[in-house]
Structure 1
Amino acid sequence: MKKHKKEHHEEHIDETWLIPYADLLTLLLALFIILFASSQVDEKKYTQIMAGLNSAFNGGVNIFEASDSIKLDDVSPSDVASLEQKGTGQNQALKDMINKEKNDMEAIKKNLDTFIAENGLTMQLQTKLTSDMLRITIQDYALFDSGKAIVKPEAQKLATVISNMLNMYPDYKVEVAGHTDNIPIRNAEFDSNWDLSSRRSLNFMKYLLQSNNINQARFRSIGYGEYQPIDTNKTPEGRAKNRRVEVNIIRNTIEAKTIVP
C-alpha cells in the first residue's frame, strides 16, 4: 500500500494583521489632520476638528463627515465679541502710548522754543516735531568755528539746557547727527567731510552727557557728511543751512495711522 504524504492545505489566509494596520492608518490620518489644524491660527477651527476626532474614535459621526462640517465663519457671537474686545484693548493701549509720546515731545519742544526765544537764538536753533522724532537743528556756527570740531564755550549752556530736558524724559533714544555742505575739506585734522561731521556730532554728544547723570546707553552719534542736505549747496545761504548738528529724540511708536480701526 502506497503511503500518501499528508498534505496540509490552508483554507483561510491569516488576516489578523489587517486590524492593527487599519488602526495605524487611522491614527496617522488623525495625526496629519491635527498637525494641519494646529498650523492654523484659527483656534475655533482647531477645537471643532478635535471634537470631530473625539466623536469618531468614540463611535460617533464619521471623521470625514465631521471635517466637512467645519467652516471658518462658524463662530458664535460671543467669540466675535471676545476677539473684538481683545483687539480694542490692544488698540487702546497703543493709542495711549502714542498720546503719551506726543505730549512728551510737545512739552520738550515748547520748553526749547521758550529758551530759544528768550535767548535770541531763533536764527541758530530750530525745532520740528515729526511722526518719527523731535528734531533739534543747531547751525554749525553756534557750536563750532569754521572747519573745527571743538565746541565753543558759549555753546555749553545750550548743551546743558538740552541735556536737562532729555534727562526729564528717559524713555527715548537720542541720535546726535553731524552734517556739512559739499565743499571738500582737507587739512591737517580732517581728511573729508565725513571726518568733520562725525567728530562734531561726537564732541557735542559728549557735552550732552557730561552735564548730569543721564543714561548714556540712550545715545549714539553719527556723521552724515554732505549727503543729507536740507537746502541747496549752490548758494552760500543754502550751504550755511546744510552745515548743522541735529539732536533727534526718537519716538518708540508709530503714528496712529497704523492702528486697526
Structure 2
Amino acid sequence: MAKHREQHEEHIDESWLIPYADLLTLLLALFIVLFASSTIDNQKFNAMKESLNAALNSGAGIMESKSLSDQLIDKTEVKTDTVVELQELKKQLDQYIKENNMTTEVETNIINNHLTLTIRDRALFDSGSAVVKPQSRKIIKAMGSILQQYPKFEVLVAGHTDNQPIYNNTFESNWDLSSKRALNCMKIMLTNKNLDPRRLVAIGYGEYRPIAENTTTEGRAKNRRVEVIINQKVIQ
C-alpha cells in the first residue's frame, strides 16, 4: 500500500500549468501593447511588435489561431498610424495658414485623435450672414485639396454662434444661421470633384457649444466660428 501511494504522489497532475502560463503571457502582451499605444514612434513600435510576435509564437501552448495579443497590436497600430497621418495633415494646414497670414483667424488642434480646424466667423462671413466672403473661399477650397490626400477620414463641418438673438428676415434663430454657414462651407469644399461627398457632413450647433463665456465681447467673438473636424473613422 505504501509503495502504491509513493507512485501516485510522483505523478501529480500539472496540466493546469499550461493554461496558467498562457494567461501570464497574454497579460504581459496586453501591458506591453497598452504601453506602446502611448507613443507614435512607428519604427520603435514595429520593432516591439515583431519581437513580441516572435516570443508569443515560439512558446508551447499558444493558440495557433490569431491570438488576443495580435489583435490588440493590430488595433494599436491602426490608431498609431491615424495619429501620424493627422499630424501630417495638421502640418500641411498650418503651413498654408502661415503662408497666407491667417494665423490670427485660423488655428488647428489635435485632441482625442481628432484634428479640429477653427475659423473665426469674421474671416468668413459678414455679421448675420451665411454667405462666404469671396476672399475666404480660397482657404476652404485649399482645405478640400489637402483633405483629398487623406481619403480615409470623415470631415464634419460645424457652425457655431454666440448667444445673442438674431433678428433678420433670413434666419429665424442662431441654429438656422449656424447650419446654413456650415452647409455653405461644405458646398465650397465639394467644388473639388476629387473629394468624396460621402466623407463630409455639415451641422449647426447654434449657441449651444460655446468655447468661451458669452458675457464679454471677446468671448462671444470666440464662440462665433466654423469648425472643420477630421476624425479617425475609416471610410469604407
- TM bucket normalised to smaller: 0.7 to 0.9
CA distance in 1, matches of 2:99, 2:232: 27
After superposing on structure 2, the runs of 4+ consecutive aligned residues of structure 1 that deviate more than 6 Å are 71-74
CA displacement 1:92-115 (0-9 Å, x = unmatched): 211221121111100110111111
**Cα offset for 1:72?**
8.8
**Cα offset for 1:129?**
0.3
Aligned position for 2:222: 241
TM-score of the aligned structures, taking structure 1 as reference length: 0.66
The amino acid of 2:192's aligned partner reads: S
- Relative to structure 1, the CA distance from residue 116 to residue 79 in structure 2 (aligned partners, 3 Å threshold; closer, same or farther) is same
Structure 1: segments with no counterpart, 5+ residues: 1-70, 254-261
CA distance in 2, matches of 1:218, 1:110: 21
Q: What is the aligned counterpart of 1:162 among 132, 135, 143?
A: 143
CA displacement 1:208-233 (0-9 Å, x = unmatched): 11123210011111000000000010
Aligned position for 1:230: 211
* Overall identity of the aligned pairs, in %: 42
Aligned position for 1:120: 101
The amino acid of 1:141's aligned partner reads: R
Matched, 1:100 2:81: yes
Structure 2: segments with no counterpart, 5+ residues: 1-14, 23-58
Aligned position for 1:45: none
Point out the structure with max Rg over C-alpha. 1
Mapping for residues 1-261 of structure 1, pairs under 5 Å: 75=19, 80-82=61-63, 86-252=67-233
CA displacement 1:138-194 (0-9 Å, x = unmatched): 000111111000011111110111001110000011100000000000210001000
Say if 2:158 and 2:205, in contact at 8 Å, map to a contact too: yes
- Relative to structure 1, the CA distance from residue 80 to residue 143 in structure 2 (aligned partners, 3 Å threshold; closer, same or farther) is farther
The amino acid of 2:176's aligned partner reads: D
3-state DSSP of counterpart to 1:135: strand
- Relative to structure 1, the CA distance from residue 84 to residue 234 in structure 2 (aligned partners, 3 Å threshold; closer, same or farther) is farther
Query: Between Structure 1 and Structure 2, how many residues are aligned?
Result: 184
**Cα offset for 1:132?**
3.5
**Cα offset for 1:73?**
8.1
TM-score of the aligned structures, taking structure 2 as reference length: 0.72
**Cα offset for 1:240?**
0.4
Aligned position for 1:51: none
CA distance in 2, matches of 1:110, 1:171: 18
